[in-house]
Every structure is written in structure tokens, then in C-alpha cells.
Chains A and B, each alone.
Chain A
Amino acid sequence: MIELRDVTKRYGVSTFGVRNLNFEVRDQEFLVIYGPSGAGKSTTLKLIAGIIKPTAGDILRDGQSLLNVAPESRDMAMAFENYALYSHLSVYENLAFPLRAKRVSRQEIDDRVQRTARILQISDLLNRRPGFLSGGQRQRVALGRAIIRPANLYLLDEPIGHLDAKLRHRMRGELKAMSADMRATIVLVTTASREALALGDRIAILREGHLQQIGTPNEVYYQPANEFVASFVGEPPMSFLDIEPTRENGQLYLKIRESQARLRVPSELAQHLNGETRGYRLGVRASEITVTGQQDVEHPVSGQVYIIEHMGYCNIISARVGTGLVRVVTDPAVTPERNETIWLSLDAEHMHLFYQQKAICHPSRFLDEGRANAAATYAR
């Protein structure tokens, strides 16, 4: 197990790479580090690898500090984004290099090179030099060189980010299968939401050097810690509506700002409201609500169609509700006109609620499988 304790990396006086990071990488875990550019993802990876040293804090393996262990003695295999391949060696020799250094037998080397090349679909490139490869091909060679030997920990920095969509899909599956078969411990950095969800046993979400949340894909998706995580995990991103708690005749409502709509607050939710009227937002996932053309009991809130995106397997409708925009995923056959009024299945009980960006409650029903299923059927 790798453990980061209060790890801070500062560049110069005031530029922070990461700040007070605390998390662990469990044995045989596939941990994804996910965040926008500049979040400190690659810095974190380099800190674990030992390529850079923390300004403060400690990094431990099984309770022992790694700070005085040289990178080459840490038994970690790395693939970084700027794939530094040996330009004078063939792809075959680049792949074989980490094994030759370990004095593996010639037959064993050949077996592993062929197998790795097959998985990464670069078998026909083995005799070429890196200079004659495309960016995506070089990236796969770099990944191959990292995964070809057994290692205590694999550190992969956007290892498939430069591949075209089709190949990226394919390689994503290969990485996932490989991690399961090898029972390897992997830390992978990505900026793609789908990659993070598809690959991670857990996902650590970073922003501006700070850890926002770490958890399983289901945890960060269904119970995001704050608006940033909520809007950054899942596609299309979560929509937010400004709301104001108001009381009428003793009943508590959430009034959607600049809209006629108000949502009745069930008593178990009322305890989460602190009497303030500002700072509340409702989070809505595009696949968790439905729309109709006519108002009915389940669709009490109106919105005006802003745009429709035709994705083939679904439509993404963006509707103006009050001052906000709500995205809804529908069947491709649902095609309302621009500016048409549609009705949305918004109700306080089933929404994510945030106060000053922090999550204060999540609907429990999104955690039960039945609901997740219902949400998934939109696609069919």
C-alpha cells in the first residue's frame, strides 16, 4: 500500500503543484487520478515515482517512508505523456529494454514482447524505429514498455489520451482486463470522465492541487462531495439551478430563482436547510429526469427548449428553467421545437442539494439499483 500524508509540492515561492494531499493506493487497486489541466495530477504521479520530491509531507510504502528511496529502486513502472522512447532502437528493442536490464531469458523476452505487442495492436510495427511512428503508435509503445514487466506499481500518465476514439475505446478495455488478470496495482491519470468511470476501482478527483473527493465510481457519481465533482464526473455534466427556500402556510418550498416553479420540501430534507435563503443550488443529472410535452403530476416544472443536440442514440435537450439551464437526456424520437415549453420531472426529493458549493444531501434512491436501471433505459 502506498500512502500520501500531507503531501505538498510547491514550485518557487507561491506556485503550488499539490497541497496537503492525503490518500492511499491500495494493493491491487486501479486508482484513477482525474481532474482538469493544472490540477496537479501529473505532479502527484511524479511524486509517487520519486522523480520530484515533496516540499512537505511524506510518501510511504507499507508504512516505510519512500522519500530516501531512489526512483529506480522503487520498483515502479511508468508511462508518461511525453513518451521518451529510445530513438535509435526498434520498437521491439524498446519493449524488450526493461526485460534485458533484468536479465530475463531471450525466449521469455520474445514471448512477452509478442504478447504485449498483440494486446496493443503494434505487432506490425516491431521492426520500426520510433521516428517512423505516429503519435498514437508511439504512445502505445511507451505504454507497452511500462506494462511488459512485473512491477510493484504501475504509474500511467494519460497513456491512451492521444489515440483516436476507436482505438482509445479498445485500449481502455485492454487496460481494464490486464489489470484484472495481472492483479496489478495501477495509478492512472486522465482528463476524460468516461475513462475515469470505466477504469477506476476508485477515482481521486483533483482541482488546483487539492483533493476534492476520493471514492468508487458510484460514490463520486451518485454522491459527489461538491458542485465541482458533480459537474466534472459523468457526461453530460450535471446541471444546477439556483434555489431559495421559502415558507408558505407552514410548508417549506424550494423556489427556483426567476421561475414560477417551487418544489415541496419533504420533512426529511428540511433538516438539511439552515434558515439561509441564499447559496443553495439544486443539482440535476441529465439521465435522472424525464420530460413531457404536457404538464402532469410527475412533470410539474416548465422549461423552454434552448437547444437540442442529436447524438444518434439519444437527444440532449437543454431547457431554460428560471436563470438556469437544465440538460435532459431523451430518446432520439423526442424532438421538441426551439423555445417550446416542456415539462420536467423535477422534485426536491430526488435532486442533489448543494449549499455554497458543498453537497448537503443526495437522493438515496439513486443508490438503489432499480433507479439506476431506469436511468439507463433512456438509451434504448
Chain B
Amino acid sequence: MAAITLENVYKTYANRVEAVRGISFEVKNGEFVALLGPSGCGKSSTMRMIAGLEEITGGTIYFDGKPVNALRPRDRKVAMAFETYALYPTLTVYENVAFPLRSAGWSKAQVDDKVQEFSRLLELTRLLDRMPGELSGGQAQRIGLARALVREPSVFLLDEPISHLDTRQRHRLRQIIKRLHLEKGYTMVYVTHDQEEAMAMADRIVVMHEGVIRQIGTPTEIYRDPADDFVAGFVGEPPMNFLDGSPAQQDGVWMFRSEDREFPFPHWLQPHGASLPPELKMGVRPYDVSVSLDSNAPRDASGQVFVCENMCDYSIVAVDMADVRFQAVTPSSFSANRHQPVFLKFDPDFMRFFDRATGKAIQIP
């Protein structure tokens, strides 16, 4: 195993595209780190530089404290898994998994030990005699993972390995990859654009956007205390709701004023009202918005139902206000007609505020 350190790493391509612009982070020995961001954010370039498939334009990458910039990919002891696999179509699953070991000259018994071990971990035992043509996408993906791993790499890199699978297979692979990490203790770097995958599996998430890091944190930190409005909007499903407004003091209470709406800042922000920036953005997740049809209910905002989506064990209600559309997650028993007036209340513990000038979250020391 190995720890990975990136120090002020840049990647500029021949066409002058600056894919990665000075990023630094560390992956501890045995840690599972997800690189998360939309397409074009530089996450794949970053991973390819760690693997040695891409030259590093600037900065240094260390494995266990030793620079690896000059090392060839095969000398870095890195295993890689991609979205698509080229399995050998004429070989059985067993032979596909055994292939890297046989070509490295392992004995028959050693090969068998390793193939059996990884077949158990990736739940392939029943598939070993099959041919690749007879496999589902999820099964082929697991065989690809096994083949990448049998040589016991010091670092395991995965680039969107399950993003094309269907919901059921994706959930299954999520469990298997996470368990593999826990049992084998690999240092893992997992690249994805899917925030749910990153949340579900990673110890820590590095959120990237336009070649720079926007935040590094545990899934809970990223979800609950996003560093800026980009991270806030990118992580979480349904996406976070935002409302533009400004602080104003009234009878000694600091209020958030937004168009014709007004509600007090949460308690934790009240003492700092005077130092808030003049232009703010409030963010609140759909899970932290409650909806009522009762016009006497306490409210922070009101609007009209745009649409209700009944997801069976919960519902998502979209509410139109004059300037913005909000979403709220409700019990599935909630139902309302289109255009029906509704009243919204935001959970004060989970309202977040951002400086509109910089996008940065308001943080209280």
C-alpha cells in the first residue's frame, strides 16, 4: 500500500487547455478518496497523472514521500479500472482473471490461490467457467476489477467504473467495491461525476470544478457544510434550493430579506449579523424544507405547486415562487394540485448562507 501526495500539480495540454490548475491533496495509506466533479473539471486528468499515463506539467506527485513524476506507469505498482473493459472473448472468466499472473510467470498453484481469493471477494465464483459473451454488464465489470487487482497493486485507481450500469447493478457494485476496500485495505482513488457514488463509498471526497479543488471533506462534511455554492448545488439529490437576499436588522433581530419574503437568520448567525456581506444566497436542501397547505402554518416563504412527484415511499414537491422554484421532500401522503398555494418552512439548523460576491459559505469561527 502507499500514501499519495499531490503538491501544486498542473496539467496543461498541447492545445493550451489548462485541465488542472495547481491542486494539492493527500490520500492516506489505505484511504478511499473520490475525485468528484462535472465533466471537464480535471478529475480524470488528475487520476491519469497519478497513474503515470499523463505527463505532469507542473508540481510533484509523491508515493510514500518519494516523487514519482519520472516513474513509468508499470513501476508505480498502480492498478486501474475503467468504465469499459476489454475482456479476452475466447478465454473463460477464470483465464481472464488469471491472465496477468500467468504472464508474470506465477506457478499454477499460486495463480489458483489468487483467482479463488478475488473470485470470492468479487462474487465471481459461480461465473468462473463462463465466457465473456455470456455475462451481464455488471458481471463483466466485476471480472475487469478482479483482473486489475490480482497482482496486488499498491494503489488502485478507478475511473467511472460503474456509471453505465443500471440502478440495481450499480448498487451491488457499490457494496462490493466498498467491501473490497475495507477487506484488502487498498489505497483507492475513485473518479466519478455521480455524487451518490462518491457519497456512498468514499472516506473523503475531493470536489473539483474547472481544474481547481473546491472542497475536501468527508461525505457528511461536504453534504452538510459545503464550502461554496458550487459544492452545495452539485452534491445532494434532489439538488439544494437557493434564494438570493440581504441581511437587515429589525427590532434587534437579523432578518434575511428576499423580494417580498423575510425570515430571521438562524440563532447561530444572529450574533454575527453586522458582519454579514450585503449580498447573500441562502441554501436549503429539499429534505430540510417542509410544505403545508395550511395558510395559518408558520412559514418562511409561500408559492404555488408546480408539480408533485410521488416516488412511492416519499414525494418531491416543486413549488414556484415569483423568482425561483423550490423543491421539498415530503411524505408520500402529501398531495396537492398544480398551482395550489402552499407554505414553506426551512429547518433553521440546516439553512446555509453564501456570499454572492465570492460564492463562499458564511462560516462562523
Residue A376 is within 8 A (CB to CB) of chain B in the complex: yes
> Interface residues of A, CB < 8 Å — how many?
54
Residue A191 is within 8 A (CB to CB) of chain B in the complex: yes
Q: Mark A146-175, 1 if CB is under 8 A from B, else 0.
A: 000000000000000000111001101100
Query: Which among B313, B318, B327 has the highest number of chain A CB atoms within 10 Å?
Result: B313
| Whole-angstrom CA separation of A192 from B325 in the bound complex | 23
| Whole-angstrom CA separation of A181 from B172 in the bound complex | 39
Q: Find A177's partner among B285, B287, B307, B331 (CB 8 Å cutoff).
A: B307
Q: A169-B239, A197-B310 are known contacts. Are A309 and B338 too (CB-CB below 8 A)?
A: no
Q: Mark A63-92, 1 if CB is under 8 A from B, else 0.
A: 000000000000000000000000000000
The total number of A-B Cβ pairs within 8 Å is 134
Report chain A residues within 8 Å CB of B172: 237
Contact check, A372 vs B331: say whether CB atoms are below 8 A apart.
yes
Q: Find B179's partner among A194, A288, A306 (CB 8 Å cutoff).
A: A306
Query: Which among A164, A309, A373 has the highest number of chain B CB atoms within 10 Å?
Result: A309
Residue A234 is within 8 A (CB to CB) of chain B in the complex: yes
| Whole-angstrom CA separation of A12 from B287 in the bound complex | 51
Q: A307-B182, A312-B220 are known contacts. Are A166 and B313 too (CB-CB below 8 A)?
A: no
Residue A318 is within 8 A (CB to CB) of chain B in the complex: yes
- Residues of chain A in range 219-247 having any CB-CB distance to chain B below 8 Å: 221-222, 231-232, 234-237
Chain A residue, CB-CB nearest to B224 = A312
Contact check, B175 vs A307: say whether CB atoms are below 8 A apart.
yes
- By secondary structure, the B interface counts as mixed
Query: Which among A194, A306, A376, A380 has the highest number of chain B CB atoms within 10 Å?
Result: A376
Q: Mark A336-373, 1 if CB is under 8 A from B, else 0.
A: 00100000000000000000000000000000010011
Residue B137 is within 8 A (CB to CB) of chain A in the complex: yes
Q: A165-B195, A176-B307 are known contacts. Are A310 and B175 too (CB-CB below 8 A)?
A: no
Report chain A residues within 8 Å CB of B311: 194, 197-198, 217
CB distance from A323 to the nearest CB of B (A): 12
Residue A325 is within 8 A (CB to CB) of chain B in the complex: yes
Contact check, B313 vs A372: say whether CB atoms are below 8 A apart.
yes
Chain A residue, CB-CB nearest to B176 = A307
Q: A166-B239, A307-B175, A380-B287 are known contacts. Are A222 and B312 too (CB-CB below 8 A)?
A: yes
| Whole-angstrom CA separation of A92 from B89 in the bound complex | 47
Report chain A residues within 8 Å CB of B318: 173
Q: A221-B312, A306-B175, A307-B175 are known contacts. Are A372 and B306 too (CB-CB below 8 A)?
A: no
| Whole-angstrom CA separation of A112 from B218 in the bound complex | 47
Q: A169-B239, A236-B171 are known contacts. Are A372 and B312 too (CB-CB below 8 A)?
A: yes
| Whole-angstrom CA separation of A221 from B307 in the bound complex | 21
Q: Find A235's partner among B171, B218, B287 (CB 8 Å cutoff).
A: B171
Residue B199 is within 8 A (CB to CB) of chain A in the complex: yes
Residue B235 is within 8 A (CB to CB) of chain A in the complex: yes
Q: A287-B313, A312-B220, A312-B224 are known contacts. Are A191 and B175 too (CB-CB below 8 A)?
A: no
Q: Mark B192-218, 1 if CB is under 8 A from A, else 0.
A: 011110011100000000000000001
Q: A169-B237, A237-B168, A377-B331 are known contacts. Are A325 and B175 too (CB-CB below 8 A)?
A: yes
CB distance from A377 to the nearest CB of B (A): 7
Contact check, A310 vs B167: say whether CB atoms are below 8 A apart.
no
Contact check, A376 vs B313: say whether CB atoms are below 8 A apart.
yes
Chain B residue, CB-CB nearest to A164 = B38
Chain A residue, CB-CB nearest to B222 = A312
CB distance from A166 to the nearest CB of B (A): 5
- Residues of chain A in range 274-299 having any CB-CB distance to chain B below 8 Å: 285, 287-288
Contact check, B239 vs A165: say whether CB atoms are below 8 A apart.
yes
Report chain A residues within 8 Å CB of B185: none
| Whole-angstrom CA separation of A55 from B313 in the bound complex | 40
| Whole-angstrom CA separation of A239 from B312 in the bound complex | 17
Contact check, A235 vs B338: say whether CB atoms are below 8 A apart.
no
CB distance from A370 to the nearest CB of B (A): 8
Residue A31 is within 8 A (CB to CB) of chain B in the complex: no
Report chain B residues within 8 Å CB of A36: 166, 168
Residue B329 is within 8 A (CB to CB) of chain A in the complex: yes
Q: Find A192's partner among B137, B167, B174 (CB 8 Å cutoff).
A: B167
Q: A residues bordering B, Cβ < 8 Å?
A: 36-37, 164-166, 169-170, 172-173, 176-177, 180-181, 191-194, 197-199, 217-218, 221-222, 231-232, 234-237, 285, 287-288, 306-307, 309-313, 316, 318, 325, 327, 332, 338, 369, 372-373, 375-377, 379-380
Q: What are 8 A-B contacts with C-beta separation under 8 Å?
A: A165-B239, A173-B318, A193-B167, A306-B179, A309-B201, A313-B287, A325-B175, A372-B312
